[in-house]
A and B are shown apart, each in its own frame.
Chain A
Amino acid sequence: MTLTIDDITGPELVTLDLTTADRWAAIDQLADLLAADGRLVDRDAFVAAVRQREETGATGMEMGIAIPHGKSAGVTRPSVAFGRAPGGVDFGAGDGTPADLVFLIAAPEGESDLHITLLSRLARKLIHDEFRDALRKAVTPADVIDIIRKEVTL
């Protein structure tokens, strides 16, 4: 079987107008997308894991991205939801830069597999300016998925 990005995300897990500036609200909104798509059996347990990770160290980076994430039995399969926040969300980056690109990563407990590898490839891509610029310019959720599909492969 060939595993692609479509197994871990999709247009229905993308929102281009996160309006909140609060990281907990942003996490809640993105978790709602995952839950609505049937990827969480226990939404609250997952959000608690994300919060716990967030407390141990902020996930916002200076390049305007944040990758809140949690590993929890409340997750059915490895997934990522993406939110673009035109106004920025404070994810505690070292220099205070608010994140306008927010990826919420959900991983199930237990053995790692190729899905996690794919997620790690996505994280690597975010280091590159061109990739972030492309995400910032995307017009529709489908565009976002196209960009990720093109750039992130096993």
Chain B
Amino acid sequence: MKIVAVTSCPTGIAHTYMAAEALEKAAKAAGHDIVVETQGSAGSEAASTDDIRAADVLILAADAAVRDPERFAHLPRVQVRVAEAINKAAEVIVLAEEAARTAPAPVTAPAGALAAAGGSGQGGDAGPGTSTKGGAVRRWLMTGVSYMIPFVAAGGILIALAFAIGGAVEVTQVSVYDQFSVGALLFEIGATAFSMLVPILAGFIAYAMADRPGIAPGVVGGLLANAIGAGFLGGIAAGLLAGAIILGLKRIAVPAGFRGIMPVLVYPLLGTLAVGALMILVIGEPIAAATNALTGALQNMQGANAILLGVLLGLMMAFDMGGPVNKVAYTFGLAALEAGQFAPMGAVMAAGMTPPLGLALATVLARRRYTAQEHEAGKAAWLMGASFITEGAIPFAAADPLRVIPAIMAGSAVAGGLSMAFNATLQAPHGGIFVVGLVGNWPLYLVAIAVGTVVTALLVNTLKSFGRPTAEVVNDIPEPVHA
């Protein structure tokens, strides 16, 4: 699409040019051509008649009178205030796309239309976008991740502290509501924070796509992903679904009188209903079926090659970190433990520790490949990995699933396989470094974890060196390895 824009403000020194820059940046990000005529004090570079003739749509970002408006009379137009073009350029571009598509005749959006159409996006870390480019998907995921990271950090560190203070096994078995202890208190708070990971991730992926009306459908979709055991990949699906549904609803033209209630009532209501129904009816059933199938397949592995079993448990632990595949592996380890076989649990725990540890190491080895926020997440990930809190890796995996998930699966497979090869046994269901004293053959067990950690780090940084990280095909994540 070709856009011609005019920016203008009372003094014509600052905001005229900021708006021009913001519109150029947003248009480029959305894959459009744009010519901006800045009607300011630094000389007006007039749009050429060729530009104007070739344009599909006009954006007027003007708080002052526009010179020679008749030049643009034939174009569909979007009119906004200068501040809106600066603060919400991506949304203005979306409005322009809409105007170009739906209105052959000029349509003037009243000033403040943006607020009515979608609330204001704050934070500025990611505007809404309908770009078809892969970069948009990554931006949505990154936004979701950035809101999720504080929950991961707070919850993960509290749980690790709970393990350290109260004992890794005890705090998970005695509820603070039944019998008070500091460990159980910390664990309960941390676990509650963790229960918000997937809803927040989903809610803010949808927010990045569709602004505020996306939050409710996204959060509810994320809660349902928890309920059906779909894990963080289910949360990503819920967030993308919610965002897409709201964006679709926003395209439906509504009479002016209804515009005010659309973003606060109609969009969230319809979006939440649609996302919720899809999560329960369409996504929930296959996950339950796949869980049963995987459990059966693992049972058949009993007595097979121990190292192969360890590799398989490792792959599964790392695939979705708390999702259905991970749960099957963990439950298998637990069942074996109760049956008196202690090696599978050892492999499961080693494989669950290497994803956060490996990613933490990766951020240290290749500082420039990671954002400042990821460096912070990396620091917390050391502690979480050491405590067997695999969720510490989720911020990395959710932001760049196609590169991170294969790498952590490989590292966990190595750790799981080595743990079985060393016949490291574990008689506790949780605890990480805090229960290492209970591990049979613990020096070699630590070697298994260290090797898995290094493999993860080297592989993820190698994968990240291939091309720009654009998680364009989120649903193309490799299938789990079935037995």
Q: Which A residues form the contact surface with B (CB < 8 A)?
A: 53, 56-59, 61-63, 67, 69-71, 93-95, 97, 103, 105, 107, 112, 116-117, 119-121, 123-129
Contacts A53-B11, A97-B122, A126-B18 known; A61 to B41 CB distance under 8 Å? Answer: no
A93 to B81, CA, bound (A): 13
Residues in B with CB closer than 8 Å to A58 are 83
Judge whether A61 and B18 touch: CB under 8 Å: yes
Residues in B with CB closer than 8 Å to A59 are 14-15
Please pick, from A70, A121, A128, the residue contacting B11 in the complex, using a CB distance under 8 A. A70
Please pick, from B11, B18, B40, B83, the residue contacting A127 in the complex, using a CB distance under 8 A. B18
A63 to B84, CA, bound (A): 12
Q: Which residue of B lies closest to A118 (CB)?
A: B42
Judge whether B16 and A120 touch: CB under 8 Å: yes
Q: Which B residues form the contact surface with A (CB < 8 A)?
A: 9-11, 13-18, 20-22, 25, 38, 40-43, 63, 82-84, 86-87, 120, 122, 124
Judge whether A120 and B38 touch: CB under 8 Å: yes
Residues in A with CB closer than 8 Å to B14 are 59, 67, 69, 103, 105, 119-120, 123
Q: List 5 A-B contacts (CB under 8 A).
A: A57-B10, A58-B83, A62-B122, A120-B16, A129-B124
Contacts A61-B18, A67-B14, A124-B21 known; A107 to B41 CB distance under 8 Å? Answer: yes
Instruction: State how many angstroms separate the Cβ of B146 from the closest Cβ of chain A.
Output: 13
A17 to B36, CA, bound (A): 36
Judge whether B21 and A127 touch: CB under 8 Å: yes
Please pick, from B25, B41, B42, B82, the residue contacting A128 in the complex, using a CB distance under 8 A. B25
Please pick, from B41, B63, B86, the residue contacting A116 in the complex, using a CB distance under 8 A. B41
Contacts A63-B124, A128-B25 known; A94 to B83 CB distance under 8 Å? Answer: yes
Judge whether A69 and B87 touch: CB under 8 Å: no
- Return the 9 tightest CB-CB contacts between A and B, nearest first: A124-B21, A67-B14, A120-B17, A120-B42, A127-B21, A62-B87, A117-B42, A123-B17, A123-B14
A101 to B86, CA, bound (A): 16
Q: Which residue of A lies closest to B123 (CB)?
A: A62
A58 to B15, CA, bound (A): 11
Residues in B with CB closer than 8 Å to A69 are 11, 13-14
Contacts A124-B20, A127-B21 known; A94 to B120 CB distance under 8 Å? Answer: yes
A61 to B83, CA, bound (A): 7
Besides the known contacts A59-B14, A67-B15, 6 further A-B residue pairs in the complex with CB atoms under 8 A apart: A61-B83, A71-B11, A117-B43, A120-B17, A120-B40, A120-B41
A20 to B84, CA, bound (A): 27
